[in-house]
């Protein structure tokens, strides 16, 4: 029941029709007895400055979730951003403090690791093949490095983006072994798909699944479909699989607590 005392939370997106955050965060608020409502805001990138200026002045607004195409532009509009957001250059969550300051952070990476741990999977000491080198892959690589991953191999169709990801991780975590390589799982304990390959029917596989071995863990961040084609094949080859929903659920929890001021940030 929304009343005059209900606190406000919103997602900024364009397009907005497909976003899942309203359903997930309203369910979180209900489960945690928070008098809050989470709504979608359809904002064009050109209008982001004006919208954020207005949102700063809403005294019952506590937080924002940021998605395409606003993650990078929003980082520049925050008064303060956390270390993960600074390293990646974008934010996906913003807390509005009572005096109207906006504090941003990025939970893709920490949500990913928390999702692994929620299923009893610890990346510490593991040799990990990371497929993809976009924003989500970079956040995940940083969080894996922070969590003590033994070695990272980054494979991406555009080599220069993989090199940039490697440089970003090395700057933040010089102790971590990270190489740019091929999408070849041999010699790894875990394979993480951080590309969008597998979302659409007919997508090519992100790697040669015949090279997967039963001791490997196959990890996905795509949530729809729940079982992507390569994950299905990995399961058939005897691998442990880890679906994208675990990352999403862990991240929703982290985002909600950050917006409510219960956590210092990622």
User: Which parts of this chain interact with its own copies (CB under 8 A)?
Assistant: 1-6, 8, 13-14, 16-20, 22-23, 26, 37-44, 47, 50-61
Tell me if residue 166 is catalytic: no
Residue 104 and residue 78: Cα distance in Å, rounded?
Answer: 6
Q: Which is nearer to its own copies, 52 or 219 (CB)?
A: 52
Half-sphere exposure of 55 (CA within 13 A, CB side): 27
- Indicate the DSSP class of residue 124: B
Q: Which is nearer to its own copies, 76 or 264 (CB)?
A: 76
Residue 111 and residue 92: Cα distance in Å, rounded?
Answer: 12
Smallest distance, Å, CB 151 to its own copies?
A: 39
Choice among 71, 166, 200, 224 that is catalytic: 71
Smallest distance, Å, CB 55 to its own copies?
A: 6
Kindly report the length of the chain.
Answer: 266
> What's 59-104 look like in SS3?
CCEEEEEECCCCHHHHHHHCCEECHHHHHHCCCCEEEECCCCCEEE
Half-sphere exposure of 173 (CA within 13 A, CB side): 23
Smallest distance, Å, CB 37 to its own copies?
A: 6
Q: Which is nearer to its own copies, 50 or 76 (CB)?
A: 50
Smallest distance, Å, CB 41 to its own copies?
A: 5
Smallest distance, Å, CB 245 to its own copies?
A: 18
Q: Which is nearer to its own copies, 16 or 263 (CB)?
A: 16
Q: Which is nearer to its own copies, 20 or 119 (CB)?
A: 20
Peptide bond into 115 cis (omega under 30): no
The Cβ of residue 233 has, within 10 Å, a number of other Cβ atoms equal to 18
Half-sphere exposure of 207 (CA within 13 A, CB side): 31
Residue 77 and residue 189: Cα distance in Å, rounded?
Answer: 40
**Three-state SS at 81:** strand
- Looking at the annotation, which residues are catalytic? 71
């Amino acid at each position: 029941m929304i009343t005059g005392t209900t606190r406000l939370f919103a997602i900024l997106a364009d397009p907005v029709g497909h976003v899942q955050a309203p359903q997930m965060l309203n369910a979180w608020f209900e489960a945690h007895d928070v008098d809050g409502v989470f709504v979608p805001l359809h904002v064009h990138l050109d209008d982001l400055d004006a919208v954020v200026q207005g949102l700063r002045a809403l005294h019952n607004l506590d937080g924002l979730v940021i998605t395409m195409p606003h993650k990078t532009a929003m980082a520049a509009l925050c008064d303060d951003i956390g270390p993960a957001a600074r390293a990646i250059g974008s934010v996906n969550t913003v807390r509005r403090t009572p005096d109207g300051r906006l504090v941003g952070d990025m939970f893709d990476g920490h949500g990913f690791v928390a999702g692994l741990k929620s299923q009893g999977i610890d990346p510490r000491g593991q040799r990990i093949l990371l497929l993809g080198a976009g924003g989500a892959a970079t956040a995940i690589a940083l969080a894996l490095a922070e969590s003590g991953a033994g070695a990272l191999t980054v494979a991406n169709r555009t080599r220069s983006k993989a090199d940039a990801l490697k440089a970003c991780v090395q700057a933040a975590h010089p102790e971590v072994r990270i190489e740019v390589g091929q999408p070849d799982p041999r010699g790894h304990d875990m394979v993480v798909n951080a590309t969008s390959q597998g979302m659409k029917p007919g997508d090519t596989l992100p790697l040669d699944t015949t090279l997967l071995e039963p001791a490997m863990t196959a990890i996905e961040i795509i949530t729809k479909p729940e079982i992507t084609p390569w994950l299905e094949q990995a399961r058939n080859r005897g691998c442990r699989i880890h679906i994208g929903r675990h990352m999403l659920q862990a991240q929703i929890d982290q985002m909600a607590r950050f917006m409510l001021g219960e956590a210092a940030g990622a």
